[in-house]
Structure 1
Amino acid sequence: MASNSANLWVLLGLGLAGIWLMTKKLKKSIIRQDFGAFIEKLLLLPPPQPPPPKAPHPLTALTFAVSDLFEIEGYVSGFGHPEWAKTHEAASRTSLVVSALVDGGATCVGKTVIDELAYSIHGENKHYGTPTNPVVPARVPGGSCSGAAVAVAANLVDFSLGVDTVGGVRVPAGFCGVVGFRPSYGAISKIGVLPVSASLDTVGWFAKDPNILRRVGHVLLQPAFGGQRIPRKIIMADDCFQLLKIPVDRVSQVVVNSTEKHFGRQILKHEILDVYLNSKVPSLKEFHNKKTNGEVKTSSIRLLANVMQLLHR
């Protein structure tokens, strides 16, 4: 009799423990149902569709999110840090790029997590939590615009905005398995975007569907909005193309043909970036650390990458 009673208590205890564990797991899943991508939810609705026979807005029915670097009227841009949000006032205007997308028919649904002060490539944020990489949950999502990439990868939005300084869009796009695009510096207005490095920052965007990526680009890269200028010279770093895993000629010829078509043949110049860096940045030689038979074998491109990693530590 006593044995049956003891077994009953054991079963009851196991049952309660199971319920507690399931409740804890369910609570965690509810909290992370957006994969931790968002800092703040909001809603910016597009204007009404124009009456026929005018064409509908180019981004109709699409939703997007913006990294916590873009100003939205009435909201504080937190720069990835709660103290920044506490010590800065709400924006009095919406950034030009966000306004252009909303006017183009897209709906903005929230602000996403970035690395603290956008100063890392891992995508981690101890204040707001690190977004979960939907592709490989055990791995970091990449940064600095980690939340924007995660929101797209998790199908929470159709596309999202980020700022690429030294990889803030391209790195998380690669980590999360989506397409990330960084246009040329100065191609898109940065008015209403918190600066990380004024001489390097470029507004970029994420999407899963290349067609959506193209539609967003069609809106943002319009001459009237982007302020397109004809470059005096375009430099093609030939040695960088050698790092590709696909045939070099296949890619480089596309770049050459496209450049010559839009700007003419005379504007394109070929350069060996490694030689250029050696001549223009002699201080890189101080970081040489691999020698064979007394000769330095580390390329200047690799050394520059090592310097960037040191700066991020």
Structure 2
Amino acid sequence: MVELVAMSGKLEQRRLQSVANNSFSITLPKWWIKKYNLTKGSSILLQEDKGFLKLFPSNRVEGRVTLNLDEFDSLDYVKYLVRTYYIQGVEAATITSSHPMKPDEKKELRKLREELAGAEIVDEAPESITINFTHIMEDQPLEASLKSIADFMATIVRDATRALLEGEEDIAIEVEGRMEEIGRHYRWLMRRIVLTAIKPSLKNEYNFRDLISFVLAARDLYAAIRHLTYYVRYVRSSHLAGEDLDEVKDLSGKLIQLIREAVEAFTTKNMGKVFWVLRFSREVRRQQEVFLQKLFSRHEDKEALILAMIVQELRRITSYCVGLVDAAANRVAITSLP
């Protein structure tokens, strides 16, 4: 059973009351006062957000989750949930068991510190382990974090393609090792987005619609990262040569340009760049399609089929670049809304 301290949304209508000196007041629901142990004189934080007024009790404590190993078929499911709750901004996760955990289980749970930025083990017993997640936030804006992930991706595409062109398996292995780190950056970005939304004490220059756009952009980047993982694996397992590699080099170079321009369109809210990416992506996809048809026509050629799988992954990443500029267009539209 998953135990989580969480809020339950309720919608109620209240009427403004006129008080002295042209001021107004509104009463707060008793259930909300009771839920957060508020009394007369308690501090309430207010935040305006694109037509909404958000109220936060200053004594609010973020969720702490408890997961019981006995209730899961696999430790992988537990680790998956810990990553998910981390993204959702919980302060700590405790994993328990009715019997002493196996050394390998503890070892796997400790590895979560490497996957989740700010994670640290604060309590451990034979039957349990507690991981705290700090709320320390970087000074850099969310845009900078998004851009750093895109730059990381572009570097991986560049180096994986180099490994393919030069037939250097060692480079491919090294590049594959970077994929876990880029996943760590993604989860940290998503956690930052959530914390920016729910913690008014943090510097917050983003309204809720803007944060939704960031989530969409981050998800598209992560989907592209998954296909980038396959691209790197295909490169590592292949030993190809010939003029077809020149075409792959050209396509990968254009993909790097698309990744960077798509993120630039989003971070700068530039519709001109949005339209440029849309036009350029159509050209790139046409080139990819022509090349794929050429490769598939040589269906008895094993090397051609491997190259086709590589190009398919480049094509999928291109599609997510288009998704990213869709998020950028939505972000631009938000600026004109009241």
Structure with greater helix share of residues: 2
Is TM-score (shorter-chain normalized) higher than 0.5?
A: no
**Smaller-chain TM-score range?**
under 0.3
Give the alignment's TM-score, normalised by structure 2: 0.24
Give the alignment's TM-score, normalised by structure 1: 0.25
